[in-house]
């Protein structure tokens, strides 16, 4: 019998091909080369913030190095770009530790050290993952970092070509900054544009224009520095200190618009999550309002550093809102280019969305004219939320405004509509289409007018969708006037209107003949209680799709076959009464009349006759007979 002794497991370190890892970092983590400048400026801003914090307990560190600042220096002749700060700086060991180990973040370590400290809340540290620095190798063949830690005399130079190795050595005092860090990029040939003043200034203002440290730019090494960012973000100032002109200028710059904001929303959320919102609703429609991707235009910042303008901070039906959100505690993924699926982001999305709708509701009560101008421009977009956002549907219905058969061209709210409900009316009636004028003259509205019932006229494409999503308001469902039975008999007629007489036997017989003659072209032919002056109209079956929605889906190729419509006949119309008196043996005339009535109803509905050539022939035969 053999006895075996189990050996203790050996612990070993993972091995990595550093060159391949750097290549992956440079070419896979970031999708936009411009991001390197944001990352390096963020690091510089962090260095200044670290100095501010450590200077609270050791004033000697501040020395005579002046106020915190970041200087960007261009050298087109040498194809070099330098980012220099007068922050805390790094010793040789710190350079090795921070830059010689990928993903070991000095900022993260610093934050861990000050966690819980009294002044930690006030710090504006940005970088946390220790990989942003390596984005410099997207544009540089070699990167040199010269740094001198505050309060020391020694300086060091770290240098690497990004292929897996680096060197570090002492720097002469003459070549080192008095305090802080200088990052020198030897740019690749295809990155020479990063020595152009316009390119750099535009990129900095877009991505880092609001970091908490002033930024200066030198067009050449010998040029005088000019300030391009003052280290003060507009949205961090109290509202009482910001003028209307400053808001307007910021809106035009951030939104790329030339109008004025119709509504400005500026507030700071505090509590479990802290963030600041500065948002604007434009006075005019942006040209990209109906782009297919329906992308939002809210920028996301973390501690005043631009992160992305692709985060869906607001739902797509609020994509006309322009502005930004600046979060203090939003966790980011390693690249800072995509936001993690985090409860923090979800809370921000919910909070900002609800606040925008709340401000719109408040405006509708305090300044109706200004609100209606916003609704004129963005109502069709807001109504997308009635279809997409069940949780906020009630709030959106309260914001919605409509034209109707009784509004005389003015906007009406659903509160107004419900206040005017008629006796025994149990639904909110609507008609959908593409043209308000044609909708207002639709034959399907006649019976509703005879009873004084208001009908909403919905002419936006989205209307055909949201009304079918099980929407109700104040317990009243929405019901199409072109779908199913009208059920108007229980609602009294307005004064002066006389009730329709029951269909005579002759008319009932003619209606049955029309149904047989049309065959499969219709699902039914019946006497109508919604027509008062027109002879016929088409409606959808009770269980069928609203006719306008059916047309939209068919036109988009998303409907294989349409439901057969119902032809409703006005049993009291003089034409119907005369046709019903035609000799029952004259089938040719009666059949022509049946198809002409059907085509007339289609034309009134904005459609062509089923067979234009056959329609023309029937009309000619009828005219010839009438002229004999």
- Is 130 annotated to bind ligand? yes
CA 267, 268, 270, 275 dihedral sign is: positive
- Is 336 annotated to bind ligand? yes
Distance CA 454, CA 494 (A): 12
- Is 153 annotated to bind ligand? no
- Whose CA is closest to 139, among 99, 103, 100, 186? 186
- Is 90 annotated to bind ligand? yes
CA 210, 214, 219, 224 dihedral sign is: positive
**Radius of gyration, CA atoms only, the chain:** 36
Distance CA 62, CA 335 (A): 32
**C-alpha pair distances (Å), 26 with each of 35, 81, 131, 335, 453:** 11, 18, 10, 10, 67
- Is 615 annotated to bind ligand? no
| Helix/strand/coil for 317 | helix
- Is 183 annotated to bind ligand? no
- Is 132 annotated to bind ligand? yes
- Is 138 annotated to bind ligand? no
- Is 104 annotated to bind ligand? no
Half-sphere exposure of 488 (CA within 13 A, CB side): 28
- Is 43 annotated to bind ligand? yes
Kindly state the tokens that stand for 132: 């942003």
Distance CA 96, CA 179 (A): 18
- Is 39 annotated to bind ligand? yes
**C-alpha pair distances (Å), 552 with each of 174, 443, 559, 566:** 74, 21, 9, 19
Kindly state the tokens that stand for 310: 């692709």
**C-alpha pair distances (Å), 278 with each of 24, 126, 246, 342, 352:** 36, 20, 12, 22, 10
Q: Tell how strand 566-569 and strand 524-527 pair up.
A: parallel
Report the interhelical angle of 505-518 vs 587-604 (nearest 10°): 80
Tell the burial category of 188 from Cβ atoms under 10 Å away from its Cβ (0-12, 13-18, 19+).
middle
Q: Tell how strand 476-480 and strand 428-432 pair up.
A: parallel
Kindly state the tokens that stand for 203: 């990129």
Distance CA 279, CA 345 (A): 17
- Is 405 annotated to bind ligand? no
- The DSSP result for 569-593, as a single string, is E-TT-HHHHHHHTS-TT-HHHHHHH
- Is 25 annotated to bind ligand? no
- Kindly report the backbone phi and psi dihedral angles of residue 385, in degrees, each rounded to the nearest multiple of 5, phi listed first: -65, -25
- Is 611 annotated to bind ligand? no
Annotated binding site: which residue ranges? 39, 43, 85, 90, 105-106, 128-133, 181, 336
Annotated binding site for ATP: which residue ranges? 39, 43, 85, 90, 105-106, 128-133, 181, 336
């Amino acid at each position: 019998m053999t006895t075996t002794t189990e050996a203790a497991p050996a612990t070993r370190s993972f091995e990595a091909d550093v060159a391949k890892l750097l290549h992956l970092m440079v070419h896979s983590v970031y999708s936009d080369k411009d991001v390197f400048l944001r990352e390096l400026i963020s690091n510089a801003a962090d260095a200044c913030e670290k100095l501010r914090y450590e200077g609270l307990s050791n004033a000697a560190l501040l020395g005579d190095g002046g106020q915190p600042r970041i200087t960007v220096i261009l050298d087109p002749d040498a194809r070099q770009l330098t980012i220099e700060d007068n922050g805390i700086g790094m010793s040789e060991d710190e350079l090795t530790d921070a830059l010689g180990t990928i993903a070991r973040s000095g900022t993260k370590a610093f934050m861990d050290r000050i966690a819980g400290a009294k002044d930690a809340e006030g710090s504006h540290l940005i970088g946390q993952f220790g990989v942003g620095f390596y984005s410099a190798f997207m544009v540089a063949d070699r990167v040199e970092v010269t740094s001198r830690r505050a309060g020391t005399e020694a300086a060091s130079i770290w240098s690497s070509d990004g292929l897996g190795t680096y060197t570090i050595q002492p720097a002469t005092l003459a070549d080192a900054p008095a305090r802080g860090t200088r990052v020198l990029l030897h740019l690749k040939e295809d990155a020479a544009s990063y020595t152009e003043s316009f390119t750099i200034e535009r990129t900095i203002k877009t991505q880092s224009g609001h970091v908490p440290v002033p930024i200066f730019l030198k067009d050449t090494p010998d040029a005088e520095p000019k300030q391009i960012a003052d280290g003060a973000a507009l949205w961090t100032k109290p509202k009482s200190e910001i003028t209307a002109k400053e808001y307007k200028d910021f809106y035009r710059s951030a939104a790329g618009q030339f109008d004025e904001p119709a509504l400005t929303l500026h507030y700071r959320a505090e509590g479990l999550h802290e963030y600041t919102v500065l948002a604007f609703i434009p006075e005019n429609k942006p040209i990209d309002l109906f782009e297919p991707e329906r992308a939002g235009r809210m920028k996301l910042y973390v501690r005043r550093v631009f992160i992305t303008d692709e985060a869906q901070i607001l739902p797509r039906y609020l994509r006309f809102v322009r502005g930004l959100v600046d979060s203090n505690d939003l966790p980011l993924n390693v690249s800072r280019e995509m936001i993690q699926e985090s409860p923090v982001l979800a809370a921000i999305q919910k909070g900002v969305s609800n606040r925008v709708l709340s401000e719109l509701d408040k405006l509708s009560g305090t300044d109706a004219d200004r609100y209606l101008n916003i609704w004129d421009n963005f109502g069709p977009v807001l109504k997308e939320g009635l279809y997409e956002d069940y949780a906020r549907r009630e709030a959106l219905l309260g914001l919605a405004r409509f034209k109707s058969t009784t509004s005389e061209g003015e906007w009406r709210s659903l509160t107004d509509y419900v206040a005017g409900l008629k006796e025994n009316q149990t639904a909110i009636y609507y008609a959908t289409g593409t043209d308000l004028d044609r909708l207002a003259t639709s034959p399907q509205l006649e019976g509703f007018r005879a009873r004084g019932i208001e009908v909403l006229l919905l002419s936006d494409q989205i209307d055909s969708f949201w009304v079918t999503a099980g929407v109700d308001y104040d317990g009243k469902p929405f019901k199409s006037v072109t779908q199913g039975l009208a059920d108007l008999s229980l609602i009294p007629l307005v004064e002066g209107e006389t009730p329709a007489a029951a269909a005579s036997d002759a008319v009932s017989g003619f209606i049955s003949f029309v149904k047989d003659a049309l065959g499969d072209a219709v699902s039914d032919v019946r006497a109508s209680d919604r027509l008062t002056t027109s002879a016929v109209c088409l409606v959808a079956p009770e269980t069928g799709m609203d006719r306008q929605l059916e047309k939209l889906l068919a036109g988009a190729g998303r409907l294989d076959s349409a439901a057969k419509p119902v032809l409703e006949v006005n049993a009291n119309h003089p034409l119907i009464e005369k046709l019903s008196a035609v000799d029952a043996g004259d089938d040719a005339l009666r059949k022509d009349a049946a198809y002409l009535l059907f085509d007339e109803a289609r034309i009134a509905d904005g459609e062509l006759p089923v067979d234009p050539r056959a329609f023309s022939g029937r009309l000619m035969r009828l005219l010839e007979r009438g002229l004999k």
